Amino acid sequence: MSACGADNSISEQWRALDINNTVLLTLPQGKVVIELAPQFSPKHVEQFSTLVKKSFYDGAKFYRVIDGFVAQAGPKGGSDKDKSVSVLAIEGQFSINKDWSFTPVQNHDLFAETTGFKDGFALASDNNGNAWLTHCPGTLVMARGNAADSASSHFYFVIGQAPRYLDKIMTIFGRVVYGMEHIQAIKRTSVIEGEYAVDSREYTAITRMKLMADVPLNERIILEVENTESPRFAERLIKRRARESEFFYKKPPPVLDICQVPIRSRLVK
């Protein structure tokens, strides 16, 4: 780190992930890294992390995988393992006061007054002091039954166009920061009318899921992600909105879909 202002600004562009707050998910097709969001969904992250530490998800299958929608996994429904996990109170939104800050992206999309980023997570807010994480592709969400407070261990990844209608009524608690293509390659379990059902033996199973801190040093995937609070990131948003490249021979509307602004990761090791 240099004392020079310019260098500092460069270093601030990236943020190291906390290995105690990062999960390595090994699938048959490759490795995936997830950043958890305890600052937004503390109880869900706590429960999920505890389960991961106990190797709870190793061998669990993605049993509900709908192309363009979600890839959902968990222990066999109704099994002792399934029933052993406590039910969680929903953490679908949180209160913000006027000191709360984030990097704004867009006002008045279909679903929210304002959208933006905080700590790399896409979120939205209303004018009544509420904010919530949004269901962008790659978000990790706890599944639930009909009751608000019925989630326990089953989770899904969003694998298609953001189902923003689920915002606020589900608990988003992490996001994929590496290896999203392997999530996209999870075997679909839903079929269309006229097709044979998929044999459950073909379902994709989780090989292993570990907190990065518990992964042997030589197997860790160490990442940095864009610091969405940095001036550099704010500049990138401005450029993305303006579409100055010659490719845009006609300029699109100067708007940004919060789920269409990829947050970059880079590999440190």
Interacting residues with a second copy (CB under 8 A)? 67-69, 106, 109-111, 136-138, 146-148, 159-169, 178, 180-181, 184-185, 188, 192-195, 243, 246-250, 252-253, 255, 257, 259-260, 262, 264-268
Give the residue with the Cβ less far from a second copy, 81 or 243. 243
Give the residue with the Cβ less far from a second copy, 101 or 219. 219
Cα torsion 195, 136, 11, 223: sign: negative
Cα distance between residue 28 and residue 43, in whole Å: 29
The least distance separating a second copy from the CB of residue 221, rounded to whole angstroms, comes to 10
Cα distance between residue 129 and residue 93, in whole Å: 10
Give the residue with the Cβ less far from a second copy, 43 or 240. 240
Contact in structure between 134 and 259 (CB atoms under 8 Å): yes
The least distance separating a second copy from the CB of residue 49, rounded to whole angstroms, comes to 25
The least distance separating a second copy from the CB of residue 269, rounded to whole angstroms, comes to 8
State how far the alpha carbon of 229 is from the alpha carbons of 103, 109, 176, 180, 233, in Å. 6, 21, 19, 23, 7
The least distance separating a second copy from the CB of residue 27, rounded to whole angstroms, comes to 13
Contact in structure between 34 and 23 (CB atoms under 8 Å): yes
Tell how far CA 26 is from the center of its chain. 16
Give the residue with the Cβ less far from a second copy, 136 or 172. 136
Give the residue with the Cβ less far from a second copy, 49 or 184. 184
CA gyration radius, the chain = 19
Matching residue, tokens 């009544």: 128
Give the residue with the Cβ less far from a second copy, 45 or 221. 221
Cα distance between residue 141 and residue 157, in whole Å: 6
Cα distance between residue 125 and residue 161, in whole Å: 20
Cα distance between residue 163 and residue 174, in whole Å: 16
The least distance separating a second copy from the CB of residue 174, rounded to whole angstroms, comes to 17
Give the residue with the Cβ less far from a second copy, 54 or 269. 269
The least distance separating a second copy from the CB of residue 84, rounded to whole angstroms, comes to 24
Contact in structure between 177 and 14 (CB atoms under 8 Å): no
The least distance separating a second copy from the CB of residue 140, rounded to whole angstroms, comes to 15
